[in-house]
Amino acid sequence: MKEQDRNLEYFDDLDKLESLKQEYNNIPVPEAAKARIMSGIQKGKTMNKKHNPFFRILRTTGTTAAAAVVALAIVTNVSPTIANAMTNLPVIGAIAKVVTLRTYEDKTNHFEAKVDIPEIDSAPEAVNRSIEDYANELIAQYEKDLRASQGEGNYSLTSTYKVVTDTDRYLCLRIDTTLVMASGTEYTKVFTIDKTTGDIISLSDLFKNKPEMLTAISDNIKEQMKQQMAADSSVTYFIDSDMPEWDFKELKGDESFYFNEKGELVITFDETEVAPAYMGAVEFTIPQSVTGDLK
């Protein structure tokens, strides 16, 4: 492009910025905010275009993009409603992408382990660090047991993951772990993330404004336990037993949970937590007549 043409484009850009300035003057803005914006416009007009990255962007992307940026800044300063809506945009997208960060594998004599470690794309670093820390705890325990036994005996550790909830509001990543030694043991850990904040939330967080809901859900779980035991003699739970110290009494608020396709709350328990080992890991679906709409 000839130097004359570049100069014309430069002054054309300035004319458009001046037009934006005039539009801005017709919007009621607090004096302090107006002064800051006017100062920025004046500075942009007087700076050397060769050394000003703003004008290099203008030449590359066109004045439309710059106008959009300025307009957005004006609108968000003028309208608290729009500014507030922007701050409430989801931290994690409507459809979350979960990938395998890495897989830990080991086979020493009759000891073997395979642990898939997931990562949530666009999630805050603290969330992915918590997920990885959980996996590292499993790996550390395996390596400790391996050293203690010097590879003697049979030992198998398998940990996999899957997304069990992905709505506009919540993402629930379920990690299922099976440990087999003399017998098998099942563990379930669910990371429930509020997409609007990017935070991992607990049951207590979910019902922070209604703490009495933990009691209501606990009562429903006990009712389900009794109904299942009455319907099937092979089903056993730790409730109304001869050893009351083992019985399930009430949720603590730190149990793993997720939401099913109907939006119902599902509470999960590790093997032996609320039932004998042969029952494995168990879960209870809580009807919305108890919880209300949790979307």
Rounded mean pLDDT, 207-219: 96
Q: How far is 196 from 84, CA to CA, in rounded Å?
A: 13
Which domains are assigned to the chain? 3-87 (no CATH), 90-200 (3.30.565.40), 202-295 (3.90.640.20)
Q: Which of the four pLDDT bands, split at 50, 70 and 90, describes residue 92?
A: confident
- Tell me the helix, strand and coil percentages in the chain, rounded to 5: 45, 25, 30
Q: How far is 159 from 234, CA to CA, in rounded Å?
A: 28
Percent pLDDT > 90 in the chain is: 63
Give the pLDDT confidence of 93-115 residue by residue, as tens digits.
766 899 999 999 999 999 999 99
Give the pLDDT confidence of 218-242 residue by residue, as tens digits.
999 999 999 999 999 999 999 999 9
Per-residue tokens: 140:
């550390």
